């Protein structure tokens, strides 16, 4: 699943293929697509708010007027902590610092919700008030804690096998045979590359036969 981003003509659309909100945040890192050079993908508040909307943390059209560079810094810090904890486990590297940040962010209350009727009279989920940064961070942090403390869920963590992708996702497929974060993106790239390799081999064989 993708969601359009904002904040510049060259901004890439967000993708939500990971199966967990916390992993989708991890996937916003520049390194997720093995592109270490360039600007921080969440650098602009507009990009962050578009991710929050795409991830379903706030309804479309919600005006997060308080979003600023402080919000960006807080989400980037949480993202990097979750990234290290997911990849390295709680007993490696900077785990104590990362756990402290994660636990601190999870202490705040998440946004309040209520059921309201839409224009057609159907009940839909809405937020009680426009949330602040701490409340939205809490949603992601609590999701990460649920993941990290669930042995079954942790056993389903996979890193995408795509050549230019290091996204982590939750494999809930039958037989646990999912290879890519997205069959439509990385899976399709692999299929295209495989087809090109086969075509190149056939062309070489034809060329060699013609020479003989």
pLDDT tens for residues 108-128? 999 999 999 999 999 998 999
Averaged pLDDT of the chain: 83
The DSSP 8-state label assigned to residue 139 in this structure reads: H
Global pTM value: 0.80
The model's pLDDT over 159-177, given as tens digits with 9 standing for 90+, comes to 888 777 888 999 988 877 7
Reduce the DSSP state of residue 158 to 3 states and report it: strand
Rg of the chain, C-alpha, whole Å: 21
Full set of structural domains in the chain with CATH: 2-181 (1.10.3300.10)
Q: What are phi and psi of 23, to 5 degrees?
A: -75, -30
């Amino acid at each position: 699943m993708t969601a359009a981003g904002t904040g510049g003509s060259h901004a890439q659309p967000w993708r939500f293929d990971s199966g967990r909100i916390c992993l989708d945040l991890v996937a916003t890192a520049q390194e997720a697509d093995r592109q270490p050079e360039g600007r921080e993908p969440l650098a602009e508040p507009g990009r962050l708010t578009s991710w929050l909307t795409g991830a379903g943390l706030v309804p479309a059209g919600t005006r997060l007027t308080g979003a600023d560079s402080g919000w960006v810094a807080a989400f980037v810090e949480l993202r990097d902590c979750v990234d290290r904890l997911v990849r390295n486990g709680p007993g490696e590297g900077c785990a104590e610092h990362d756990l402290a940040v994660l636990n601190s962010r999870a202490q705040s209350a998440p946004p309040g919700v209520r059921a309201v009727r839409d224009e057609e009279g159907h009940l839909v989920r809405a937020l009680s008030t426009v949330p602040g940064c701490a409340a939205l961070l809490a949603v992601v942090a609590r999701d990460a804690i649920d993941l990290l403390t669930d042995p079954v869920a942790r056993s389903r963590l996979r890193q995408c096998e795509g050549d230019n992708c290091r996204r982590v996702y939750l494999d809930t497929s039958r037989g646990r045979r999912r290879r890519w974060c997205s069959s439509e993106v990385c899976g399709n790239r692999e299929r295209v590359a495989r087809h090109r390799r086969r075509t190149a081999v056939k062309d070489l064989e034809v060329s060699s036969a013609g020479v003989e």
